[in-house]
Amino acid sequence: MFTMARSRRDFTPEYKDEAVKLVVTTGRAVATVARELGINEATLGRWVMAFKARNETGQAEVTESERAELLRLRKENADLKMDRAFLKKASIFFAREASDTNVLRSN
């Protein structure tokens, strides 16, 4: 017998944060919240365990959305550094070219 495999769903960091908050702040069972949200109980359980592990290690609470934003900002920062390096090299090139042109004109 053939069964159709379900496609893997991707959840936004904000969605994960809200689901974990429902479990942590209300004190309801993971199974109950997972059933209400229509997600797998084990998935929500992993999100809650990861949240609790982060808090037990004394780390400041960094939400999934903050983590995603941090990754985006790091990539953007790296891109800006590359742009800056390119512009710096270009300005040096054009400054040399301009000074060479001025030397030739004065002769």
Instruction: Output the pLDDT for position 36.
Output: 94
pTM of structure: 0.52
Domains of the chain from N-terminus onward? 10-61 (1.10.10)
Of 51, 49, 45, 44, which Cα lies nearest the Cα of 65? 51
Instruction: Output the pLDDT for position 35.
Output: 95
d(CA 40, CA 80): 40
Is pLDDT of 70 > 70? Answer: yes
Instruction: Output the pLDDT for position 56.
Output: 76
**pLDDT 10s digits, 23-67:** 988 889 999 999 999 999 999 999 999 888 877 766 666 778 888
Instruction: Output the pLDDT for position 32.
Output: 94
Q: Alpha helices, DSSP H only, in 38-63?
A: 41-56
